[in-house]
Amino acid sequence: MRLLCIETSSRRGSVVLAEGPRLVVRATHAEPNAHAERLRPLLDRVLAEAGWHKTQIDRLGVGMGPGSFTGLRVGIAFAQGIALGLDRPLVGVGSLEAMAAGCPPTLGWPRIAILDARRDEVFVQAFAEGGQALAPAEALPRASALRDLAARFPAATYLGEMAAELGAPAVFRAEITDLPDATGVAALTAARDPEASVREPLYVRDSGATPQNLPPSPIRGRAG
């Protein structure tokens, strides 16, 4: 199964082509507020490097947050447009879940993914062996996040550049787990039922946007 996966929930945008569990090519950008301008060139680049035509893509995956409100809207709309145009299924994956899925299999459990949420908060989510979420994604105050998480999930391994910044006791660092990445999205997309995947952006907290500005039921497309 040939996959196209996209992640735009943080300052980094990433696009990955994969064949089943095998990563074929990955491209990223880190230009501030530039997801809308950079996604199409990244897609063209990975298709050219892989020697694929977009019609050869069997399934798409996209990070659904939590994260940047604008980034999520851009990435989801971009993925949805391609999926609808090609009549391919689209799988929504939690962005913190993608961080956990990007770790090597030998890394212990539980794993707690932490992402900057601004407003002196962090987005967090803990995962048990096999990637099962131990709790929904949530926003916690930076000042008390580690204390709260350690009480609920002792002996956890923490993921993310924000975990290191906060001084977490056991941090795993890698490029594809420091921030949500399309590599982790791809690791989950092939095995996931599109109809049972994340259907709406995981904003976690109020974006401050009016309802008419938020995309209704963004994950659509043919299942199969």
pLDDT tens-digit map of 50-70: 999 999 999 999 999 999 999
Tens digits of residue pLDDT in 135-167: 999 999 999 999 999 999 999 999 999 999 999
Looking at the DSSP bridge assignments, the partners of residue 3 are 18, 59
Positions in the chain whose pLDDT score sits under 70 = 207-224
For residue 205, the model assigns a pLDDT of 82
pLDDT at residue 212, as a whole number: 36
- The beta-carbon contacts of 43-51 under 8 Å, at least 24 apart in sequence, are 43/4, 43/15, 43/82, 45/15, 46/15, 46/16, 46/17, 47/17, 49/25, 50/17, 50/24, 50/25
Q: What is the value of pTM for the model shown?
A: 0.92
Q: How far apart are CA 91 and CA 222, in angstroms?
A: 10
CATH number attached to the domain at 102-178: 3.30.420
Asked if 2-96+180-213 and 102-178 have one fold, the answer is yes
Architecture per CATH, 2-96+180-213: 2-Layer Sandwich (3.30)
Distance CA 14, CA 8 (A): 7
pLDDT of residue 64: 98
Could you state, in order of their start, the residue ranges of all structural domains in the chain? 2-96+180-213, 102-178
Provide the token pair at 29.
């950008």
